[in-house]
Amino acid sequence: MTIRVYNTMTRSKEEFVPREPEKVAMYVCGPTVYNHIHIGNARTFLTFDIIRRYLSWRGFDVTFVQNVTDVDDKIIKRAAEEGLSAAEVAETYTREFRLAMEALDILRPSRQPLATETIPQMIHMVERLIAGGHAYEVDGDVYFSVRSFAGYGKLSGRDIDDLESGARVDVDERKQDPLDFALWKTAKPGEPRWPSPWGEGRPGWHLECSVMSEEELGLPFDIHGGASDLIFPHHENELAQSEAATGEMFVKYWMHGGLLQVNAEKMSKSLGNFMLLKDVLEAYPTPVVRLFMMQTHYRSPLEFSTDRLDEAATAYERITGPLRDLEVAKRSRARERAEAGAGDGAWATRLAKAVEDAKVRFVEEMDDDFNTAGGLAVVFGLVREMNAFIWEGPGVGAHGEHLPLLERAATAIKEPLEVLGIEITLQPVRVSEYPAEVFQLAADYAGYTGVVGTEAVDALRKARDVVRSEKNWAVADAMRDRLQALGFTVEDKPDGSHITYGR
């Protein structure tokens, strides 16, 4: 079975054959660090985190390089607004970016060079382009000549003449062609600057991507990723720079993720309709946010809303349900029956088959251009089978003899989620998050006078079990109502009652 990926260059799914067997070299455009990243930015980084994790899981040795663009017009603008230096702004948001990635459980890149650390290489690339007749200097600025590169437009499917007739590009008489773009800019007063053969200045277009990818990965590397709004002009220019400078093929597979939308409109900082990743993660656990994103294919647009996130939270609980039930069953031998039933063998056969099928089908789905939505459907199917086995079927069996099978089922649910980086949390409760009112309840019903949240809840559970055993339903129900009002969930299962918070 081979992996197939959608290549923007050819607009079709292609068999994935890396340049070296068993090894994948990938590059994903990182952020320009002038602000916190928003949840739309995060979607793209998450997409390529999944792709990276999956390829690793499938046995490839993945080298993952991501730049940080820490010199740029927007950073300079932001610095001016805040009365800081550009370097200070960049440093702050580089740090924030890394923290946010960590909070989203995104694996760290193998290498993450800063643009400002690769200035000499960028200058060298500009020199190479000038020497090859692909760039020219005007008064300390250097421009790339789009007409000098025959392949210009091949990634985005555009034609230079069509683009010029669109003519929303600034007309600058110093350029030989309106579409020519700046590789090096003369520094204005107060701007960051580095010495160069064309005077003091700074990099223009995203040379850092061209330079870093060549330096860290070599050409052509396997996968270049980014969001679809980067196809033109960002990646088109990057491709032109690199191929014109080196004369080699730049990238084997161009992969682009779909945009996150709000009210059917692209989420973007310029439209002002964005939510910061860090704010979303304050309201929703990381696994829920990841699950939410993965329920849609990475190339499709995805509508962002808290309703959708709430639904994903419910779906997440559905997945963790049987895993939690199994843990409880292991400890308490709940769902253990007096004797084996006549149909137990058929149940076991069916679950065992479901487990094997799920493993195969997950790989099939993911091999097909990283279809996480399809892969999750497989997981949900297994969740249903496992639930049925526990609650309708033999459970753990008469003497726990079905525990190994249930463990295998649990593993078959957990492994795909691990591949997708969705952490399984069976104990979602942090004591500090309990509402303070729970102590009053515990005092009223259980005589508990301590200050430890878990103890208070446990005392309530025991007190309620006593009341229930006395069939004093009025009190038992009142306790449940009051707990639910505080945000707790009370479930009376065959092995006793469970009180959880935050579900």
Partner RNA sequence: GGCGACGUCGCCAAGUGGCAAGGCAGAGGCCUGCAAAGCCUUUAUCCCCGGUUCGAAUCCGGGCGUCGCCUCCA
Window 61-120: residues binding RNA (CB under 7 A): 73-74
Binds RNA (CB under 7 A): choice among 58, 308, 337, 462:
308
Assess contact for 369 and 6: CB atoms under 8 A: yes
Interface with RNA (CB under 7 A), residue from 19, 278, 297, 462? 297
Which residues ranging from 11 to 50 are in contact with RNA (CB under 7 A)? 11, 29, 31-32, 40-41, 43-44
Q: Which of 33, 47, 41, 29 is nearest to 209 (CA)?
A: 29
Tokens at 37, concatenated: 């990243």
In the complex, the smallest distance separating the C-beta of residue 21 from RNA, rounded to whole angstroms, is: 26
Helices (H), 72-221: 73-82, 86-103, 119-131, 160-166, 207-217
Amino acid at 66: Q
Binding string to RNA for residues 140 to 179, with x set by CB under 7 A, is what? ----------------xxxx--xx-xx-xx----------
Question: Taking CB under 7 A as the criterion, which residues in 250-279 touch RNA?
Answer: 257, 259-261, 264-270
**Cα–Cα distance, 28 to 232 (Å, whole number):** 16
Among 105-113, 222-230, 404-412, 428-436, the segment contacting RNA (CB under 7 A) = 222-230
How many amino acids of this chain bind RNA (CB under 7 A)?
Answer: 84
d(CA 66, CA 49): 11
Cα–Cα distance, 2 to 344 (Å, whole number): 38
Q: CB 360 → RNA: shortest distance, Å?
A: 14
Report in angstroms how near the CB of residue 8 gets to RNA at its nearest. Answer: 8
> What's the angle, vertex CA 96, arms to CA 95 and CA 101, rounded to 5?
100
139: left (phi over 0), alpha (psi -120 to 50) or beta: left
Question: Residues with Cβ < 8 Å from 228, sequence gap 6 or more?
Answer: 256, 257, 258, 259, 299
Part in contact with RNA (CB under 7 A); list of ranges 91-99, 378-386, 413-421, 439-447: 378-386
| Smallest separation, CB 100 to RNA (Å) | 12
Is there binding between residue 315 and RNA (CB under 7 A)? yes
> DSSP character for 340?
-
Kindly identify the residues of this chain, within the stretch 439-498, that bind RNA according to CB under 7 A.
468, 473, 476-477, 480, 489-493
Q: Which is nearer to RNA, 180 or 214 (CB)?
A: 180
Q: Which stretch binds RNA (CB under 7 A): 80-88, 295-303, 398-406, 409-417?
A: 295-303
105 or 452, CB closer to RNA? 105
